[in-house]
Amino acid sequence: MDFFISTAMAQGGGEQGNPLFGIIFLVLMMAIFWFLLIRPQQKRQKEHQKMVGELSRGDEVVTNGGVLGRVTAVGETFITLEVSKSQQVRVQKNAVANVMPKGTIKEQEKAAQQAKKDAKKQEQQPQVDDQSDEPAPAEEASAEETEKGAEGSEDATQDKDRPAQ
């Protein structure tokens, strides 16, 4: 049995690969990572910085938190947004997610007013409840007959013989 151990020990390792191939593979993976992840992120960041730099009074913007407002004042790092006729909010410039087209706020206000009108119309119309929790009398009778039939024929015949209460 010792002759198997000696042959196993005598065998050499597998063929060594070229070390240059490992370096080329690593550089190739870094290049792919750069072009697929880092470069597009840098482009988006530059576009965002350009958009924030071009903010001016009267622009309609949406913040990262979803607040829609009109820019009333632009500072070095903060802007003031008018979110309604009597409310103003100061936010960082970098919190601006998107500049909306002119007239977006008016469209939103019109849609909100229309929704209020529709809600009032719904309240004024009489509510007709077609679906009730209680079954109709015909359904109750058929349900009772089904239950009686399931109990057994003896109970059903006894019920027929009894006078109605």
Phi-psi region of 42 (alpha: psi -120 to 50; beta: other; left: phi over 0): alpha
pTM above 0.75, yes or no: no
Spatial separation of the C-alpha atoms in residues 68 and 66, rounded to whole Å? 6
Contact 68, 62 (CB under 8 A): yes
Q: Give me the amino acid identity at 163.
A: P
**The predicted structure's pLDDT at residue 135:** 57
CATH for 55-123, options being 1.10.3720.10, 2.60.40.3470, 2.30.30.60, 3.40.50.2300: 2.30.30.60
Using 50 as the pLDDT threshold, list the residues of the chain that sit under it: none
Q: Could you tell me the end-to-end alpha-carbon distance of the chain, in angstroms, rounded to an integer?
A: 100
